[in-house]
């Protein structure tokens, strides 16, 4: 059985297995098995990723926090180039994915053989990457 508990679900263990609770759901759910299938809260400034944390500390990556973008997403320009702390886009440094500010796609899961904006955007980023790589030789 799958149970959806809503946002801010907290997980712990006890002698019998796993325990899940959420402030938006009244039940305490106990289980013998646990499948991790959630995205962590986005936070550039609090990331555990060494590369991203180093780039942020050095001012090479800016963080966007707002009601529209959610907490702590990577700032990018319209071509997905990473924006630094001064507001300048960096050639050759791109970011795509759920932790990037400014990308809103209709539909949660684009499907193959559909001309989804998600795919068109990523194809454009790939073209830009190839242009950057070939022009720096």
What tens digit of pLDDT does each residue of 94-111 get?
888 778 886 665 555 666
Task: Tell whether 129 and 69 lie within a shared domain.
Answer: yes
Please state the domain count of the chain.
2
DSSP summary character for residue 50: H
Residues 127 and 63 placed together within one structural domain of the fold: yes
| Residue 81 Cα to chain centre, angstroms | 15
Say if 17 falls within a structural domain: yes
Q: Is residue 43 part of a domain?
A: no
Q: Is 94 or 133 the better-scoring residue by pLDDT?
A: 94
Q: Quickly state the pLDDT bin for 56 (edges 50, 70, 90).
A: very high
1: containing domain: 1-38
Top-confidence residue, 17 or 105 = 17
Is there a single domain that holds both residue 59 and residue 123?
A: yes
Q: Identify whether residues 55 and 101 lie together within a single domain.
A: yes
Element (H, E) at 12: strand 10-14
What is the C-alpha separation between 68 and 121, in angstroms, rounded? 20
Same domain, 7 and 62: no
Domain assignment of residue 121, yes or no: yes
Do 116 and 75 fall within a single domain? yes
Q: How many Cα neighbours within 13 Å face the side chain of 23?
A: 2
Mean pLDDT of all residues in the chain? 80
pLDDT band at 57 (very low <50, low <70, confident <90, very high): very high
Does a structural domain hold residue 32? yes
Cα 91 to its chain centre, rounded Å, is 21
Q: Give all strands (DSSP E) within 48-100, no chain letters.
A: 63-66, 70-74, 81-83, 89-94
Look at 22 and 34; give whichever has higher pLDDT.
22
Are 81 and 91 within 8 A, CB to CB?
Answer: yes
Distance, CA of 58 to CA of 72 (rounded, Å): 16
Whole-model pTM: value is 0.63
């Amino acid at each position: 059985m799958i149970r959806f508990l809503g946002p801010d679900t907290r997980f712990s263990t006890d002698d019998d297995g796993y325990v899940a609770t959420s402030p938006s759901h009244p039940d305490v759910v106990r289980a013998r098995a646990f499948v991790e299938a959630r995205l962590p809260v986005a936070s550039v400034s609090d990331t555990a990723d060494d590369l991203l944390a180093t780039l942020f500390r050095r001012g090479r990556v800016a963080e966007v926090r707002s009601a529209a973008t959610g907490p702590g997403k990577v700032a990018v320009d319209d071509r997905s180039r990473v924006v630094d702390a001064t507001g300048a886009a960096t050639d050759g440094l791109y970011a795509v994915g759920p932790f990037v500010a400014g990308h809103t796609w209709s539909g949660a899961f684009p499907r193959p053989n559909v001309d989804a904006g998600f795919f068109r955007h990523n194809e454009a980023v790939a073209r830009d990457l190839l242009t950057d790589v070939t022009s720096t030789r």
